[in-house]
A = this chain, B = another copy of it.
Amino acid sequence: MKQVVTFGEIMLRLSPPLHYRFTQANSFEATYGGGEANVGAALAGLGVPAAHVTCFPPNELGQAATQSFQRLGVDMSHTVYSGKRLGLYFLEVGASMRASKVVYDRADSSFANLDPAAFDWDEILKNAQWLHWTGITPAISASAAQAISEGIQAARRMGLTVSADVNYRRNLWQYGQRAQNVMPDLVAGCDVVVCSENDADDLFGIKPAAGTDNKFASISEQLMTRFPQIKQVISTRRKTQSASHERIKGQLFDGAYSETPYYDITPVVDRIGGGDAFLGGFIYGTLNYATPQEALHFAVVASALKHTIHGDVNLVTVAEVEHVLQGNTTGRLVR
């Protein structure tokens, strides 16, 4: 099978153990993750060949980050080593009504300062069938935006499927460009997008039609009209009960609307990467199931399972997802 290629920043994540607060931390648990690489790693775990493309500093932390994804079977051979530092983020894990917190320290990272010319997309994509990116990448820097733009163009030229999680994070856009100017051209090249109603409004000024019963379908329809390449809009919907208790379902619009039941997750072990697990599951499902509804259901269960796993990456097998899909949601011991 051909590769799914993902492109984006990988950061070192530093978390106090258990539910300790930042100021209580005498140690930080260290893992590596990024919104796009998490998708690749999830796919590798599901048996889909995956390659991630990124830029790390030429030091031991860059090496450790490479090894972290290499370990999961992701092809890291396209990594560019340049620049001075690995982006970091600090994560404090909340509980009950106390929210988890993230403190970013990613400015001026190697990835932010990447040289777009260092990525030979024709070479990178030559064994690929799919390119995935997120709205975080063009938010980081002009050069990151340029690199993914070139990647999308190459992918289109080479006939790959392109997917994006548009994921608008206002605080990230610091380099002088507005998301609203940059994102439309990039999204125009996509076949599949994850886009919430807020994202649609913030990025594209698309609001649900007045009085609609189905806001998600409404904004999805408008998105597909504006960007005719898009064939599927998907999203998770969360009913967050507390930092320790989540409920999620999946939504899909591909002309028609479909959705999954809600899945209940309590306790939540680690919510970071839940959306990436959803995307990874959806790509897997698209490549392996007959209908988008099956892919959607696979995706939301994969995401639910991710919430029970430490770290950014969804470490589940196809068999484990399918076990839950078949109704085994009670977590009975497997011997």
Contacts and interface: CB of A to CB of B under 8 A. Distances in A.
A96 B307 contact: yes
Contact of A97 (B30, B71, B305): B305
Main secondary structure of the interface of A (DSSP, over half): loop
Interface stretch (A55-63, A192-200, A212-220): A55-63
Given A64-B25, A71-B71, A73-B67, A95 B267 contact: yes
A105 interface: yes
Contact of A22 (B22, B64, B244): B64
B67 A90 contact: no
Interface in A85-104: 85-86, 88, 90, 92, 94-104
Interface residues of A, number: 84
B331 A94 contact: yes
Nearest to A29: B27
Interface string A40-80: 00000000000000000001110110011011110000000
B24 A103 contact: no
Given A71-B70, A242-B331, A310 B107 contact: no
Interface stretch (A12-20, A126-134, A201-209, A278-286): A12-20
A105 B244 CA distance: 34
B333 A100 contact: yes
B29 A96 contact: no
A1 to B, nearest CB: 14
A97 B64 contact: no
Interface string A294-335: 000000000011011111000110001001100011111111
A224 interface: no
B98 A305 contact: yes
A249 interface: no
Interface in A255-272: 263-269, 271-272
A224 B281 CA distance: 51
B271 A244 contact: no
Interface of A: 14, 17-31, 59-61, 63-64, 67-68, 70-73, 84-86, 88, 90, 92, 94-105, 107-108, 169, 171, 240-245, 263-269, 271-272, 304-305, 307-311, 315-316, 320, 323-324, 328-335
19 contacts: A21-B310, A23-B63, A59-B103, A60-B103, A67-B71, A68-B71, A70-B71, A95-B308, A95-B331, A96-B265, A96-B266, A96-B267, A96-B308, A96-B331, A97-B328, A97-B329, A100-B331, A102-B333, A242-B266
In the complex, the 7 A-B pairs of residues with the closest C-beta atoms, listed nearest first? A243-B331, A71-B71, A22-B60, A98-B308, A95-B308, A240-B330, A23-B64
Given A95-B267, A97-B328, A243-B332, 5 more contacts: A25-B30, A70-B70, A95-B308, A99-B334, A100-B331
